[in-house]
Structure 1
Amino acid sequence: MTSTDAFLRDTLHSTRVIAVVGFSPDPERPSHYVAEYLKAQGYRVIPVNPGQAGKVLLGETVHASLSEIPADIHVDMVDIFRRPEAVPEVVDEAIAALPHLRTIWMQLGISHPAAAAKARAAGLGVVENRCPRIEIPRLFGARSPLAPPVSG
């Protein structure tokens, strides 16, 4: 299923906290520069990477897994930078560990129909094979979805 522009706009506008699964500390890696971009757009970005757990990157503590994110951090979206075969495990953990979660977002080149169906069955929105770093400027122009409305 392809996400409509209206769905993407609503999702990006209503999201405040994004857990980036597969975050890399390497600024050359897509997971890093996309997370950096999202943070610059006003989102709170929670990095998730077991090899970097405990470090502070992009101003946030890196967590080893979604289930280790403290309960007082209300994650709205999980942005997945993992291979398609890892997606079902990420979706299962997200459903179990993040009670405020609204969206599973799979990055460019990542799709998993069964995991997407499971997330939808759990009441979550799903985006596959897209990147918010591309969608935000396409849908909102230079303005972030979190920017205050322009007064006229």
Structure 2
Amino acid sequence: MTILTDPKAIVRVLEDSKSVAVIGYHADSAKPAHYVPEYLERQGYKVYGVNPALASRQAKAFGHPVVSSLTELSVPVDVVEIFRRSDKVRDHLPEILAMNPLPKVVWLQLGIKDDAVAAELSANGIEVIQDRCMLSDHRQYL
């Protein structure tokens, strides 16, 4: 199973990734699911919001329409970042594995972990980062 924990691997992901789809993106700027993606956008990443409730209201995030599902993205992404409770991560496995091309990395935000889903993603060639904050790691390492 490829769960990345080594700082060098985290830095490689942060440096090599150019686009991030954020499952659970939130419109409230006080919530981590908004200010973390906003930070990433300011750092030069292309960020795409994924949230069915916001998509139904035709919301935009960083100049892109918010979509209901990863399968609605019209561009490939390097990282799928998940801002959902650990018990909801499995719900997104089918849509992640249906992406073409597959993302290189699935990043479960701080406090989010599912070893069984991580094993399935790894078996499909996707690296996994669990229980880490992309914003904090970016600030610390880059």
Asked if TM exceeds 0.5, the reply is: yes
Unmatched 5+ stretches in structure 1: 141-152
1:68-106 alpha-carbon deviations (Å, 9 max, x no partner):
111xx1111000000111111213211112414100000
Deviation at 1:2, TM superposition (A): 5.4
Contact persistence 1:111–1:128 (CA under 8 A): yes
Please state whether the residue corresponding to 2:98 is helix, strand or coil.
helix
Unmatched 5+ stretches in structure 2: none
Aligned residue in 2 for 1:67: 71
Q: Distance in 1 between matches of 2:20 and 2:14?
A: 10
The structure 1 segments of at least 4 consecutive aligned residues displaced by more than 6 Å after TM superposition are none
Give the letter aligned to residue 66 of structure 2: V
The normalised TM-score by structure 1 is 0.87
Give the letter aligned to residue 54 of structure 2: Q
Contact persistence 1:75–1:98 (CA under 8 A): no
1:25-53 alpha-carbon deviations (Å, 9 max, x no partner):
00011000001000000000000000011
Aligned residue in 2 for 1:150: none
Partner residue of 2:28 out of 23, 26, 29: 26
RMSD of aligned C-alpha atoms?
A: 1.1
Identity value in percent? 36
Alignment of 1:37-48 (within 5 A): 37-48=39-50
Q: Which has the higher contact order (CA 8 A, sep 6+)?
A: 2
Q: Distance in 2 between matches of 1:57 and 1:122?
A: 29
Alignment of 1:80-99 (within 5 A): 80-99=82-101
The normalised TM-score by structure 2 is 0.93
Contact persistence 2:86–2:112 (CA under 8 A): yes
